[in-house]
Amino acid sequence: MLEKTGIATREQIEKLLPSPGRRAEGPYAVMECFQKIPCNPCSTSCAFHAILPMDDINDIPSVTPDKCTGCGACAAVCPGLAIFIIDESKGGGTGTVTLPYEFRPLPGIGETVKAVNRAGEVVGDAVVTRVLPGKKTKTPLVTIEVPLSLVHEVRFIRCEAHQEEDPSVADTLREIPAPPQTADIGEQDDEVVICRCEGVTLREIRDLIREGYTTVDEIKRISRAGMGPCQARTCGPLIAAEIARMTGEPLGSVAPSAHRAPVKPLPIEFFLGGDTE
């Protein structure tokens, strides 16, 4: 599920594809943009008016496949790097995928790279057939040749250099057993630092709330939390949240402590240059 994993489903992808006839004719853009977000560079960048103008900037881009030439202009400008140019017309059982690739090093033409799917899994090898360095956009477009069966799967590549330094992280996660300790902040609250400046822990804060100090100011006065150099920038909201949690008060009714000048620590000598008017 896209909203949970970041991976679009097969059904979502299939809906984007042009008719089989159009697919056989030549390259076309696939816009893997499924969410209404305020963004329209794809439609304004298309010289062929193949992407419908957006009345509402939040519209999901809509491609007219017959107007699309597969030029890739939209893929180079898409801020979400969500546009891919697919070409299934070459014959010989292979097709090409043109994808945005903002990583270093850029692969060279003819280089064999790992073909990677939407989940980050290697699904085969691919040969780089074209590299547009994207001097202006700084979004290089890399075209790779893959078996036709993979043109709707492969969305990323991994070059040799990357493979060595980045083992499959998902695998690592599976290999590590659960730790023996049970995890519950409730029992470890003396290791949770709320006020970094004054070194006040969550346990101290919780003890004070239990004693009846239920405002940020009271806790500050007794514990010094928030009196340090950062003036509660980091801990203030955490203390308010803990008060709200323990008392059941809405967070909005837990008043923050007053803000005073200066907003950053300044030496006494700093002010000696001023003259009173």
Partner 1 sequence: MENRRITDHPILDFSEGEVIPFTFDGKPMEGRSGDTIASALHANGVKVLGYHFKTKRPRGFYCAIGNCSSCLMVVNGQSNVRTCTEPLLPGMKVETQIDRGVPDDV
Partner 2 sequence: MNLPKSASVVIVGGGISGCAIAWNLANRGVKDIVVLEKDTLANGSTGRCGAGIRMQWGAEKNCRLAQFSVNFFENANDILAYERDIEFEQSGYLIIAANEAEAQQFRKNVALQNSLGIPSVFLSPEEATAIVPYINATQFVAATFCQKDGHLNPFHTTDAFAIAAERLGVRIFKHTEVTGIEVKNNRIESVDTTGGRIATHIVVNAAGGWSKAIGKMAGVDVPVYVQRHQILVTEPLEPILGPMVMGFSYNIYIQQVPHGSIIMGRSDHTEPRDFRTTSGWKFIEEMTKTCGTLLPYLRTAKILRQWAGHYCMTEDAQPIYGPVPEVEGMYLACGFSGHGFMLAPATAELISEMILGEPLTIDVSDLDIGRFKRRELVREQSVV
Partner 3 sequence: MMYETDLVVIGGGPAGLMAANTAAGAGASVLLLERDRHLGGQLIKQTHKFFGSEKQHASERGIDIAALLGDELKSLEDRVTVWTHATAVGLYDDGVITVDYDGTYRKVRPKRIVAATGASEKFLSFPNNDLPGIYGAGAVQTMMNVYGLRPGKRVLMIGAGNIGLIVSYQLLQAGVSVAAVVEGLPQIGGYAVHASKIRRAGVPILTSHTIVRADGKESVESAVIAEIGSDWKVVRGSEQTIPCDVICISVGLTPLTELLWQAGCEMRYIPALGGYVPARSDRLETTVPGIYVAGDAAGIEEASAAMVEGHLAGLEAALSLGCGGDGCEEERADCLKQLSSLRSGPTAEKIRAGLSCAHGCQTPKRRDEHA
Residues 6+ apart with CB under 8 A from 110: 127, 128
Residue from 13, 193, 227, 244 touching partner 1 (CB under 8 A): that is 193
The gap between the terminal CA atoms of the chain, to the nearest Å, is 65
Residue from 13, 22, 25, 40 touching partner 3 (CB under 8 A): that is 40
How many whole angstroms separate alpha carbon 214 and alpha carbon 222? 12
Of 14-22, 143-151, 211-219, 232-240: span binding partner 3 (CB under 8 A): 232-240
Burial of 195 per CB tally in 10 Å (0-12, 13-18, 19+): buried
Instruction: For residue 136, give the 3-state DSSP assignment.
Output: coil
Sign of CA dihedral 49, 51, 55, 57: negative
Residue from 17, 52, 193, 227 touching partner 3 (CB under 8 A): that is 193
How many whole angstroms separate alpha carbon 87 and alpha carbon 24? 8
Phi and psi dihedrals of 258, rounded to 5?
Answer: -65, 145
Dig out the tokens for 162 from the structure: 């990357």
Of 85-93, 97-105, 207-215, 216-224: span binding partner 3 (CB under 8 A): 97-105
How many whole angstroms separate alpha carbon 245 and alpha carbon 185? 14
Q: Does 105 bind partner 1 (CB under 8 A)?
A: yes
Q: Does 270 bind partner 3 (CB under 8 A)?
A: yes
Minimum CB distance to partner 3, residue 42 (Å): 9
Residue from 217, 233, 234, 244 touching partner 2 (CB under 8 A): that is 217
Q: Which does 105 bind (CB under 5 to 8 A by kind): partner 3, partner 1, partner 2, none?
A: partner 1
Residue from 2, 49, 102, 245 touching partner 1 (CB under 8 A): that is 102
Q: Does 184 bind partner 3 (CB under 8 A)?
A: yes
Minimum CB distance to partner 2, residue 186 (Å): 23
Dig out the tokens for 67 from the structure: 């107007």
Minimum CB distance to partner 3, residue 199 (Å): 9
Residues in touch with partner 2 (CB under 8 A): 215, 217-218, 221-222, 224, 227-229, 231, 258, 260-262, 265-272, 274-276
